[in-house]
Every structure is written in C-alpha cells, then in structure tokens.
Structure 1
Amino acid sequence: MVKDLLDKYSAAVPRYTSYPTAPHFHSGVDCGKYSQWLSTLSAGQSISLYIHIPYCDRLCWFCACHTRHTLKYGPIKTYLEALFVEIEQVGARVSAESKVVEVHLGGGSPTMLRPEDMVALMAHLRAHFSFAEAVELSVEMDPNDLDEGRFDALAAIGLTRASLGVQDFDPVVQKTINRIQTFEQTKSVVEAVRARGVTSVNCDILYGLPHQTVETLQSTVRDILSLAPDRVALFGYAHVPWMKKHQTMIAEDALPGVGQRFEQMSRAASMLVDAGYQAIGIDHFALPDDSMATAAREGRLRRNFQGYTTDAADALIGLGASSISQLPQGYVQNMAATGEYQRMVKQGGLAAVRGIALSTDDRARAAVIEQIMCDFGFSFAELRRAFPQDAELIITEAKVFAGSDRDGLCSIEQDYFALTRVGRTFARSVAAVFDCYLSNGKARHSIAV
C-alpha cells in the first residue's frame, strides 16, 4: 500500500515556500515597481530582513542555493560594497515607522565574512532601517569557517539563533557530496555559540543523499541528539542538476530510490519524536518549549523562503544577489548573477529584475497552500471570511478532490478540509491540487518525498 502511494504521489512538485512559486515570476515587476511597493510600507507594519551572502570557500555538490566558490576575500569585499549601497537605497524608501523585528543572514556561507565586516554589516542595517527593541538574528553557519574572532563578532551583533548545516556525518557520504565536516567540529560550534549566550540552535539533516543508508542516517541523528539542538530540520535532498550543474558531480545511480528515501525519512523522524521533539509541518522538529513548537500548537506557524518560521512580519525584504522580497503587493527577486547585481546597484540603487503582483485569487490560494503545509488543513468558514469573492471555487476544488480521494489522503468534516496521517506525508502533492499555475509552467521540481 505504501509503495503504491509513493509511486503515485512522489511526482515532482514545488516545495511551496511561496505561492505563486518563483518559476512564475516575470520581468513585469522591476525596480520601479519594487520602489513603489517599498514606499507603501507604513507605521505599524513590521519588517523582516534577509541578507544573502552568495559565496562559499568550498562548493558542496548537493547544494541548490545561489552561491559562488571563492578562496579569495576580494570578491566578497567588493560584493559588500554593493550590498551596502542597496541597504541605503532600500532603507531610504521604507518608512522610519516600519520596524525591523527579524534579521536572517543566509547564503552561501555568511560566516565567511570577516569579524569586522559582520559588525559593519549589522551597523549599516541599523543605520538605514528602524529596528524594534528586541530583534531576532539568525545566521546560517559553516563550522569550517568559524574561529574565535567570528564567534565574538556574532555575539557582538546580537546573534540569537545559530543554524548549522550537518547533512550526514558519515565520511563516505560527506566525500561524495564534497562536504567534509566532523561531529567534533559541529559540537565545538554549538558549545561556542551557547557559551556566548545563544539560546537557540538549529541543525539541518538531509536524507536521500548518495550512498546514504538508514544506518548512516540513524547514526547522524544520534550524534545530533547528543547536542540537544532546539530545532532540527530533516530535509529531503533535492536533485536538480538541470538547475545546478555542480550536482552532476553526484552519480545518480548512488542516490537512494523513493522507497529508500521514505524509509530514511520515517526512521529519522521516529528517532526525533521518540527523543521528545515535536513534529512540525513536513520536515521540522522542535523541543516542546521552543517558539516554533508553540507557534505550531497555537496555529501561528508560517512558511516563507526560509522554510517554516515563526516570523509574522508584514513584509520580508531580501537584500543581496538573488534574494526575494515578499511584500503586501507581491514578490520581487533581485538579479542572481553577482556581477550584474553589483552593476545594477551601483548604477541605480536597486537590482530587482522579476516578480509577481498578487491577485485576490493568488492570495486566497496562497493562504490555503500555506495552511496545508503548516497545519495540514484549512477551514472553509475562515476562507470565506478572509476571501469572500474567491473562496467558493477553492472550496469546490477541495470537495471534488476529497470526493475522488481513494487513497485516504484527506477528509472533510464540519467544513474543515484535513489531511489524514497518511496524507501528511504527501502534503506537497495535496497542496499542488490548489496551484492553478502548476500546469501552465515549464519549471521542473524535486520529487515530493
């Protein structure tokens, strides 16, 4: 039965960190439109900032992020000059009454920044945006980049959450994906950030990697549990070599099949739950007193381009090459190529090249898809209240899907569309039912399990 469902519902679909998804962005949303949208942010609206550092000193072959390999600091320094200009120009367009409540440094490897540049970056953000009194600051970390000076700089700029990519500690798997990172290195980072007052640590684990087995993954999970992270993300490896050419370095015959991926995911998830972690959405786990676990229990869990989050800001502003902004009017993405991004910023201050303005139907479907991904269901009554003009068509689609469901994926009770325990495994596939763009696009996606 499980094998039949895996064969049927593991087709490639989006991860739904947005709706409409990025392949449907277009050039009609440009710097002028972006500038206009930024200027409408007003007093009382909160802002989350994402800063993209698109450089790594090694290129992990599994990675699907927008990043470049460099062993020299010169390109990073030049990039920061452009980034600082963009910060100034975007900040000038945003009301001083709009407060920043969260900052996320991602990449790439933001921990490649020299200590003085970490401090300068945060100072520049504070100089050009109004910050709330208490701000969450999360940073993606590569243990191979870190030293005492960088740890001290991270503490000085107010780090509150450290996010460490682990993937798998097995040396064969690590060699195959070009990600050499020992357990001892990872442990030392966790200890160093906690010693400096960081109270939240997240670890990312991947399943579905080349040469990975249930046994290697279980060993990795045991090691991770010994560190007692506050959150764990259990992601399925997305093999998309048509998008990321360096993934061609991974032999496809070394990748586990769909059934093996499902077993790896199931075993790892069981270990985390048995250890006291609360399962959240399709791929996150958190200790019961963590803010994400609390948000999930209270129906406040959100999903954006960083995945599951407690971030409830009214707008997400992306800064840096390839970064995406989520504004009340729609989505905007910056130029991805770092050289062209720098040229655009230095000439005009902004680097927006594509995006999409949201229709009311888009907003309604985005709400439904986010609730399916976060809460595994949605209320017809709440949808009607929030989107009175667009709700009925979506509700009809839900009823048609539920009525034709012969696999026990969902049910409708008291005007609530809910995924069953079986259906939760295929939440991405169920969410795709409500995606009216999916059949019209040419984008290719990773498999859904």
Structure 2
Amino acid sequence: MHRYLPDLAAQSVPRYTSYPIAVAFAPGIGAAEQVAAQQAIAPGTPVSLYLHIPYCHEICWYCGCNTGATGRPDRVSAYRDALLREIETVGARVRGTAVSVHFGGGSPNALAPADWAEIAAGLRSAFDIAPHADWAAELDPRTLSAADAQAIAAAGIGRASLGAQTFAPHIQHRINRIQPFRTVAQAAADLRAAGVARINLDLMYGLPDQRLDAIAATVAQALTLRPDRVAMFGYAHMPRMLPRQRMIDSARLPDAEARFWQSALAHDLMLEAGYRAIGFDHFALPGDSIAQAAREGRLRRNFQGFTDDPATTVIGLGASAISQFDTLFVQNEKHSGRYRMLAGNGAPAGVRGAARTAGDRLRGAVIERLLCDGTVDVAAVAAAHRQPVEALAESLPALAPLVDAGMVAVAEWRVTVLPAGRPYARLAAAAFDAYRAPAADRFSRAV
C-alpha cells in the first residue's frame, strides 16, 4: 500500500489550511475590511470563535507557532485584559451564532485558572453562543495542574488536545520538550476527572534522532490513553524563517525516505488499533464526531486542521489570530505588545490579509474537498460556484506526475487520490493552487 517516491516525498508544499495560504497575506487588507466583514454577518449565521494565547512556560525548539516565553505573570494578565476588551468590542459587531469555541496557542494553559472563568464569561456575554457549541483547547501537559483542569472544565471546555509529540527521552532532549509519559497520562486523567471527556493527542514524526522503533513505542504508549483523536504531524524544519529551530541539529534529522516510512508506520499502527484515517495526518475512533463527518462528507479543513466544525466563518481573537470570511482573510497584529495597544483601546486588531476572489473560492473549495474526501468532482464544484470548469483546465496537466506514478486517478473532471497516494494528497491539492511557486524551504515536505 505504501510507496516511497523520492521526487514527490521531498517536495515543499503548503498544508492548505486556507486558500490563499497565509504567506500570501499582505498589509493592504486590515482593520477596515475586518470591521466591515464582521458587521456583514447576518443574524444567526454559524460562526466559530478562535482565541490565540501566545505564551508558553517553555519554548520548544521545533515550534512554528506564534508564541513566546511567559516570563513575568503580569505579561499574561495584561494580555488577558486586552483579549477581554477585544471580545467585547468584536462581540458588539458580530450577530452570528457561535457553534465552536477553540483556544489555541502557544499554550492556553499559560492562563491562570481564574482567567478561564473570566474569559468564558466574557465570551458568553459578548457573543450568541449555541447551547451545543463545541468548546476545545490545545494544552501543554507539562504545566497542566489538576486545578487548571478543573478551571478549564468549569469554563465549558469539553475537548482538549495534548501536545505529546514523542515519548522518547533522547528525542525530547533534542527538541527541548521534556515530558515523561506519566506527565501526559496524568494530564489526561486530570482532565477526564474534571469533566473534559474528549482527549486528543498531537504526535510528530521527522524529529531529530527519531527512528521507526521510537515511532512504534510512542504510538503504543499513546494508545494506552485511548485518545479520541490523534494527529501525526511531520516536523517542518525551516530555521531560516524560525530562529528557534536553529537549536536543532539538522544533521540529526531523518531524510525524506526515513520520514516517509515513519509516517507509514504510524498510519498502519493507528488503523490496526481500530482508528479511522482522517485526511492525510489525523486519526479518530469510529464513533468520534470527526470520523462521522468524514463518513458523511461533512469533513472540513481550516486553520485548526481537519475538523467537523460546520461554520465557514471564523472570528479570530488575540494576537496573530486569523479571521476567515467568504471573501476575506484577516490576521490580527502578531506582536503581543502592539496587539495589546490596539485591542486594549477598543481598536480593530487586523493588520494584514487577503481578499478572496471568486476564483480563489472555487479553487479553495476544490482543494478542501480533495483533502477531506480524497476525491472531488471538479465540474460539480465549479457549477455550485457558478463558474466555468474550464477555468481550472490548467490544473489537470499539473497532476500528470501523480497520475503517472499511480497516486492519483483522473476521469474527465473527477480527481481521486488513490490509496497509495494518500501521503501525497497535498501535492494533488497544489495542482489547483494558482499562487504556488517553488519554495524549497518555505513549507513542510509533502510527507
């Protein structure tokens, strides 16, 4: 089932959590467009809320997120105050109904336990939040206490993603993330005891000194926690863009072929354990809502990765958070100090973004369905967008290397990623990307 193709596996390709992707954002789109888009949301429209907490108690060298060391406690409390002000300001403009609330980072548990109650209350006061809304948070198990777990549950969080990455001590030292398995297990136990019933784990392959035996051992240990979902991300080494990654010795990183077989082994082990493959790097228990969405063709892809979130509009809150509208992406100020000045004064925090043309929306829809379903009827998507399918005609020849390799099948306008082609799905998506240009070190490897 698995075929390593060196010319494909080592290519640099976006993850396509948006289209256009974030590197295409520019300063020409900002606060004015952000406010207008927020005000244009019709009452009752399903929206998602994303809150970014850009702090961690310790900085991991592999991390590509917008985050910094917590440092003085007053840094986080000042940020909390600015976030609360932005929640109040934006909530006064948005008339949609929130069906999802997601805390990301950084590490949201950099917040003090009391902060969770205050922020949750602020959200419920400012926004119309559906009773069935899915509340979730990404958490760092190294600093998660039982008191944190109780506060997080009391705020309404029902699903938590724990960053586990690897359980191999020698690899943890190489990436500056020391967390014995018992630490992650205790965090999961504390969360479940507090009432956070759904636990996800984030794992990684392609790390320094990582080999197949370490992948197998980490997956085996992870499965003893019976997570509802597991994400297996490939490490993207981009030290030119992310200075903290310069602490990782590139000579110790596995090559493209080793990365491929690490991903393949994790895939097989997860399926053997009864999990369902979701997209190209997620796994879920058959009864989990994301697995159900995948079976029913409702799987989505946005900045949180693969999701069953039904909303197409995302309201980003916090430093660097990205808002997604039908015709627009807008990203908040990335620097936490400048963000605090803007949000704390009641000003809109958007500073850069991208307008989404009709062509962008069509291509984005094709890419999303191809990555989520593994197949897409391009003509049907074009018809739904009231655009001529011929506008995408140049994309089909771009699929030729994948077709010739037996990874993708094309029948008229139907494009299907074959079982062996699943690891190369992002390359198939890239065929529909009108903005893509070769970039050897700007994106992660295809596998």
Q: Same fold (TM over 0.5)?
A: yes
Q: Residue 45 of structure 1 contacts residue 314 of structure 1 at CA under 8 Å; is this kept in 2?
A: no
Q: Residue 55 of structure 2 contacts residue 107 of structure 2 at CA under 8 Å; is this kept in 1?
A: yes
Tell me what 2:101 maps to.
Answer: 103
Cα offset, 1:57, TM superposition: 0.7
Match 2:113 to one of 115, 121, 125:
115
How many residue pairs were aligned? 447
Tell me what 2:225 maps to.
Answer: 227
SS in 1 for 2:309: coil
- After superposition, residues 48-447 of structure 1 pair within 5 angstroms as 48-95=48-95, 98-395=96-393, 397-398=395-396, 401-402=399-400, 405-413=403-411, 415-439=413-437, 444-447=442-445
**Paired amino acid for 2:73:** Y
* Structure 2 CA distance for partners of 1:112 and 1:384, relative to 1, 3 Å: closer
**Cα distance between partner residues in 2 of 1:414 and 1:441:** 30
**Cα distance between partner residues in 1 of 2:402 and 2:59:** 45
Q: Deviations over 1:78-107 (max 9, x none)?
A: 111111111111111112xx2111111111
Question: Stretches of 4+ moved more than 4 A in 1?
Answer: 1-4, 440-443
* Structure 2 CA distance for partners of 1:267 and 1:442, relative to 1, 3 Å: closer
SS in 2 for 1:353: strand
SS in 2 for 1:354: strand
Cα offset, 1:6, TM superposition: 2.5
Tell me what 1:8 maps to.
Answer: 8
**Cα distance between partner residues in 1 of 2:226 and 2:78:** 38
Cα offset, 1:344, TM superposition: 2.0
- C-alpha root-mean-square deviation of aligned residues, in Å? 1.9
Q: Residue 3 of structure 2 contacts residue 420 of structure 2 at CA under 8 Å; is this kept in 1?
A: no
Q: Residue 320 of structure 2 contacts residue 334 of structure 2 at CA under 8 Å; is this kept in 1?
A: yes
Cα offset, 1:349, TM superposition: 1.9
**Paired amino acid for 2:319:** A
Tell me what 2:28 maps to.
Answer: 28
Tell me what 1:43 maps to.
Answer: 43
**Cα distance between partner residues in 1 of 2:170 and 2:10:** 27
**Cα distance between partner residues in 2 of 1:404 and 1:227:** 37
Cα offset, 1:400, TM superposition: 6.3
TM-score, with length taken from structure 1: 0.96
**Paired amino acid for 1:108:** G
Q: Residue 2 of structure 2 contacts residue 420 of structure 2 at CA under 8 Å; is this kept in 1?
A: no
**Cα distance between partner residues in 2 of 1:116 and 1:172:** 36
**Cα distance between partner residues in 2 of 1:334 and 1:136:** 23
**Cα distance between partner residues in 2 of 1:404 and 1:198:** 42
Cα offset, 1:439, TM superposition: 2.3
Unaligned residue ranges in structure 1 (runs of 5+): none
SS in 1 for 2:233: strand
Cα offset, 1:357, TM superposition: 1.2
**Paired amino acid for 1:91:** G
Cα offset, 1:243, TM superposition: 1.8
Cα offset, 1:13, TM superposition: 1.1
Unaligned residue ranges in structure 2 (runs of 5+): none
* Structure 2 CA distance for partners of 1:347 and 1:194, relative to 1, 3 Å: closer
**Cα distance between partner residues in 2 of 1:172 and 1:162:** 26
Q: Residue 402 of structure 2 contacts residue 428 of structure 2 at CA under 8 Å; is this kept in 1?
A: no
SS in 1 for 2:370: helix
Q: Deviations over 1:343-388 (max 9, x none)?
A: 2223452110111111110000000111111111211342232123
